[in-house]
Amino acid sequence: MSGFFDIPSDLQHSYLGLIGLHLREALLPVLAGLLVSLPLAQLCVRFRWLYAPVLGLTIVLYAIPSLAFFVVLIDYTGQTETTVMIPLAVYSLVVLVPAIVDGVRSVPPETLAAATAMGFGPVRRYLQVQLPIAVPAIIAGLRVATVSSISLVSVGMLIGNQGALGNLLNDANIYHRPELAVTSVLTIAALAILADVALILVRLLLTPWMPRKGAVR
Amino acid sequence: MIRIDAVTKRYPDGTVAVDGLSLEIPDRAITVLVGPSGCGKTTTLRMINRMVEPSEGSILLDGQDIRQQPVNTLRRSMGYVIQNAGLFQHRTILDNIATVPRLLGWSKQKARARAAELMERVGLDTSLAKRYPYQLSGGQQQRVGVARALAADPPVLLMDEPFSAVDPVVRKGLQDELLRIQDELGKTIVFVTHDIDEAVKLGTMVAVLRTGGRLAQFAPPAELLSVPADPFVEDFLGADRGIRRLSFFPSTELELHTAPVVAIDAGTEKLASGGEAAPCLLVTDTDGKPLGWGAPDDLAAGAIDRDRLLPFGRPFVPGKDSLRTALDGAVLSPTGWAVAVDEEGRAVGVVSQQMIGEAIRAAHAEGRPDAKAAR
Ligand SMILES: Nc1ncnc2c1ncn2[C@@H]1O[C@H](COP(=O)(O)OP(=O)(O)O)[C@@H](O)[C@H]1O
Ligand SMILES: [Mg+2]
């Protein structure tokens, strides 16, 4: 049994250490992606014509293989976590930008009219009305971005030791220890599920105002 | 006073929504803008709180151009109520109502206390305070909308078809409530509707707009019904404006007959004598509350059978109800006679269709209807 968690020393991490590294490499890019997407999405809402080109651009970026990103980035950021995380952050935009745009646009026009009529300025209206109402859509986007990011971290093994739990797949190969591959895949899947559940809980906490199934009127 | 002065609104696409409109909106009264869909009512209303800027002309509030104060200060001094309420779905009922006080910098505690006070004022149970909008019925949401608009005690209230999306029974309740609140608070209300009945019921003054955003007539509702300015207004008022106009004549002048009203325990003599004035006798219980109509012969025979009395229709309260209600009562009554009752529901007399007709002719001859009898 211990073979599953007996991590080869070349990875320089314990099992738990790998989990920590994996989560960091997966979640920081999503956070960065969110911070970029929020203003970008707001620009797209405000200037409608901007949405199509921005969306097109995120799709093109998403289509670039991570290896190509690594080749370019390695000259600047070296064989580091950062080199892995930059493409992941870029990939998250393809989900987050449309999720936020749709969320903000889903605010009913009469709600916006009421806010304006009550004397909300544009900034206050965005922060206090549009953003909170967009929370369910934003979290739906975050769930997809997070799960895919957790699975994508593994490609970090292409530039050496930066694939976190993904590196176990490589080691399983070179050391002929298939149980490491099992550990890798199952742990990554478990992390994805846990992250997803956590996001669902966050949504429930943030949106007590949403109709719940079976709620009484 | 709000003065709309030769205002024209041309949208960027060339649509002229409002065309050279001038209106003097009186203080502490309900002014209704009414007209067919697309005639520029919403545009006009939104120019008052500058959600839409006029292309030409100006709007004055107490003599001062509304462009002279910061736009959000202006808006916070004007409550705004819209169809479907436009509540903030992510805030509790209490926090929805507390919105403008909070914007004005009140403490959370003070704003919420004020919000709770308003919930009662608009007839909402305070147990709903912690609920979210999706947990309320359409009518309750609309009440929250009104409470939210009133929260900071603004002198002006702008209402854009606030009651159009609720069913007729709830709508009537909301209208009555608005009139009651207005009696207490005396706001300057500009009320938009496409429903002429609502306009006549609520308005102190009614502005009828025609398509293209031009003013067709601006008058008190009774005057609108008696002298429509042109065929457009006449058509818009509908076929039964003569009947509806009766709402504005009080029933005080009606001469009530008391002889045909007999108590169920009256002697046969009284029963026989009552029959001279009317074809039927109104039988009341010992308290004087009407039970129904009976034929004098049957009654004189000593056979008062409660179950065989004819229904007496809908009674009216002289002085409180209008000639329209009295006439309605007479038309609905199987005998053609309407029953007058006092505030406690005790019969005070009966009156025939013919007598009501005479009162109508007399009232018309006298001219001016009484605006207060409208409701
Ligand atoms: N933002 C806008 N841009 C162009 N046309 C508009 C705009 N808003 C309203 N209109 C047009 O102006 C006219 C009056 O609209 P509105 O004031 O909403 O009418 P109402 O409230 O009486 O139904 C309509 O023909 C409508 O299509
Ligand atoms: Mg409208």
In chain A the first and final C-alpha atoms are separated, in Å, by 53
Could you tell me if residue A114 is inside a domain? yes
Q: Show the domain range for A167.
A: 2-206
Same domain, B173 and B140: yes
Residue B110, CB-side half-sphere exposure with 13 Å CA sphere: 9
Residue B289 is part of a domain; what is its CATH number?
A: 3.10.580.10
Could you tell me if residue B195 is inside a domain? yes
Number of folded domains in chain A? 1
CA dihedral defined by B110, B116, B120, B121, rounded to 10 degrees?
40
Q: Which of residues 89-148 of B touch A (CB under 8 A)?
A: 89-92, 99-100, 103, 132-135, 137, 145, 148
**End-of-domain residue from the set B247, B278, B304:** B247
Q: Show the domain range for B312.
A: 261-361
- Displacement of CA B353 from its chain's centroid (Å): 26
Same domain, B238 and B278: no
Q: Which of A107, A118, A131, A210 best tests the B interface by mutation, with the highest count of B CBs <10 A?
A: A118
pTM of the model: 0.84
Same domain, B207 and B279: no
The region, left, alpha or beta by phi > 0 then psi within -120 to 50, assigned to residue B161 is left
Same domain, B196 and B315: no
Query: In the prediction, which pLDDT does B272 show?
Result: 60
**End-of-domain residue from the set B247, B277, B305:** B247
Could you tell me if residue A59 is inside a domain? yes
* Minimum-distance CB partner of A217 among B99, B103, B135: B135
Could you tell me if residue A152 is inside a domain? yes
Same domain, B134 and B49: yes
Q: Is A68 exposed, middle or buried (0-12, 13-18, 19+ CB in 10 A)?
A: exposed
The candidate with the shortest Cα–Cα distance to B48, out of B57, B37, B59, B40, is: B59
- Tens digit of pLDDT at every position of chain B (375 positions): 899 999 999 999 999 999 999 999 999 999 999 999 999 999 999 999 999 999 999 999 999 999 999 999 999 999 999 988 899 999 999 999 999 999 999 999 999 999 999 999 999 999 999 999 999 999 999 999 999 999 999 999 999 999 999 999 999 999 999 999 999 999 999 999 999 999 999 999 999 999 889 999 999 998 999 899 999 999 999 888 888 888 888 898 898 988 888 888 776 666 666 556 677 888 888 898 998 888 766 666 666 677 778 888 899 999 899 999 999 999 988 888 999 999 999 999 999 999 998 888 888 887 656 554 444
A133 vs B contacts (CB less than 8 Å): 88-90
Query: In the prediction, which pLDDT does A4 show?
Result: 84
Distance from CA of A111 to the nearest CA of B (A): 4
SS3 B5: strand
Could you tell me if residue A217 is inside a domain? no
Same domain, B304 and B270: yes
Residue B122 is part of a domain; what is its CATH number?
A: 3.40.50.300
Same domain, B292 and B194: no
Nearest-CA residue for ligand 1 atom 27 is B38
Contacting residues for B360 by C-beta, under 8 A, at least 6 apart: B246, B249, B323, B327
Number of folded domains in chain B? 2
Question: What is the complex's ipTM, to 2 decimals?
Answer: 0.86
Asked if pLDDT for residue A215 goes beyond 90, the answer is: no
Other beta carbons within 10 angstroms of residue B226's beta carbon come to 17
Could you tell me if residue A212 is inside a domain? no
Query: In the prediction, which pLDDT does B374 show?
Result: 45
The candidate with the shortest Cα–Cα distance to B292, out of B353, B334, B345, B235, is: B334
Same domain, B175 and B78: yes
Residue A66 is part of a domain; what is its CATH number?
A: 1.10.3720.10
Partner-chain contact B90 A215, CB within 8 Å? no
Partner-chain contact A114 B86, CB within 8 Å? yes
Could you tell me if residue A15 is inside a domain? yes
Could you tell me if residue A45 is inside a domain? yes
* Minimum-distance CB partner of B89 among A133, A215, A217: A133
Mutate which of B4, B10, B13, B42 for ligand 1 pocket (most atoms within 8 A of beta carbon): B42
Could you tell me if residue A216 is inside a domain? no
Tokens of B224: 């609108």
Question: How many angstroms is it from B38 CA to the middle of ligand 1?
Answer: 6
Model pLDDT for residues A105-120, shown as the tens digit of each residue: 999 999 999 999 999 9
Model pLDDT for residues A164-208, shown as the tens digit of each residue: 899 999 888 889 999 999 999 999 999 999 999 999 999 999 999
Sign of CA dihedral B256, B260, B265, B271: positive
What CA–CA distance (Å, rounded) separates B191 from A212? 36
Query: In the prediction, which pLDDT does B188 show?
Result: 97
What CA–CA distance (Å, rounded) separates B353 from B302? 29
Distance from CA of B79 to the nearest CA of A (A): 7
Number of inter-chain CB pairs under 8 A, A vs B: 71
Partner-chain contact B51 A113, CB within 8 Å? yes
Same domain, B242 and B275: no
Whether B82 has its CB under 8 Å from any CB of chain A: the answer is: yes
- Distance set, CA B236 to CA A103, B211, B371 (Å): 42, 12, 21
Same domain, B80 and B202: yes
Contacting residues for A71 by C-beta, under 8 A, at least 6 apart: none
**End-of-domain residue from the set B219, B247, B275:** B247
What CA–CA distance (Å, rounded) separates B317 from A148? 74
In chain A, which residues touch B (CB < 8 A)?
A: 108, 110-111, 113-121, 129, 132-133, 135, 207-211, 215-217
Same domain, B35 and B179: yes
Residues in contact with ligand 1 (CB, 6 Å cut-off): B 11, 13, 15, 17, 37-43
Distance from CA of B36 to the nearest CA of A (A): 21
Could you tell me if residue B10 is inside a domain? yes
Same domain, B9 and B116: yes
